[in-house]
Amino acid sequence: MWCIARSRRWVSVLTLFFGILSLGASPAAVADSPARPQAPARRVSLDIPAQPLASALQAFAQATGQSVFFDGQLAAGIESMPVRGELSPREALQQMLAGTRLAARYADDTTFTLVETETPVPMHATPSPSDESAGDDGNARVVQQALERTLCRWPRVQPGSYRALVQLWVGPAGHVRRSRVLGSTGVAQRDAALEAAMNTLVLSPLKDGTPDEPLTILLLPRTGSSTDVCAGMAPANAEAS
C-alpha cells in the first residue's frame, strides 16, 4: 500500500505498504481522480476494530491489497472508525475515515494518498480534490513505479516476502544520495542487497522536494489476495544470488 500526505512542504515521512498490490478495480466512492470506466467493485470481508489510524491503514492494506501513502504526522493522534462487513475497499475506507478531516485521493484503482479536508468527512462524502493533493498523487506514483522497477530487478530483494523499513535521502534531480535500512529483514545478505538496490534508485524530480529530509519507506509482505508486482519483469544479471 502507498501513501503521501497533502502538505505545503515535502513530506518527510512516507509510509509505504508495498508488495501487496492488487489489480482489482473498485468504484469511485472516495475523493477520486477523473472518472473513467471501471469494473464492478470486488468486496472483501473485513473486521478492523477502532484503533490508531496508522495501524488501521496497515490492516486495511493487508486485507485489501490497496496501496496508501501518508505522512505519519497527518495520522498522529487520530483514532479510526471500526470497519466490519462485506465491503468494497473504498466503502471500507470511507467508514474508517468517517468523522476525521482526512479523505482518500486515488492515483489509480489501487493506490491512494490521504489528504486533509476543511471539515470532518461524513460517512458518504466525496471531497473535491485540491491542486496540492494532485501533486502528492504524482509523487506517490513516481516513488511506487521507481521502486517496482528497481527492486524487481534484484532477485534477492524482490518485494513480497519480507518486511523492511528503509530511509532514502533523495537529491533535487531524483538520485538517491544515501540510504539506510532501519532494522534487519531477517537475512543479513538481503539487508545488504536491499541497501545496494536502493542506492541505484533514480526518481523523476519530486514536487516540493527537500533533499535534507529523508523518505521513510515501509515494505510489507504480500498477502494471499495480492498480485506479484514483479511478474513479467526480468531480473538484473549483475546481482549474485
Percent pLDDT > 90 in the chain is 11
Is residue 187 a part of any domain in this protein?
A: yes
Is residue 48 a part of any domain in this protein?
A: yes
Query: Is residue 12's pLDDT more than 60?
Result: no
Structurally, how many domains does the chain consist of? 2
Same domain? 90 vs 143: no
Same domain? 98 vs 142: no
Same domain? 149 vs 210: yes
What CATH code is carried by the domain that includes residue 77?
3.55.50.30
What CATH code is carried by the domain that includes residue 186?
3.30.1150.10
What distance lies between CA 109 and its chain's CA centroid? 13
Dist. CA 63–CA 45, nearest whole Å: 8
Q: Which domain holds residue 76?
A: 44-116
Is residue 232 a part of any domain in this protein?
A: no
Q: Report the C-alpha dihedral over residues 100, 12, 18, 98, rounded to 10 degrees.
A: 0
Q: Write out pLDDT tens, residues 91-116.
A: 999 899 988 888 888 767 777 878 88
Is residue 235 a part of any domain in this protein?
A: no
Same domain? 108 vs 145: no
Domain final residue, candidates 65, 84, 116: 116
pTM over 0.75: no
Q: Write out pLDDT tens, residues 133-151.
A: 444 455 666 777 788 888 8
Is residue 1 a part of any domain in this protein?
A: no
Q: In the predicted model, what is the mean pLDDT of the chain?
A: 69
Q: What angle do CA 121, 11, 108 make, to 5 degrees?
A: 60
Q: Write out pLDDT tens, residues 24-46.
A: 222 223 333 344 444 556 888 99
Same domain? 143 vs 211: yes
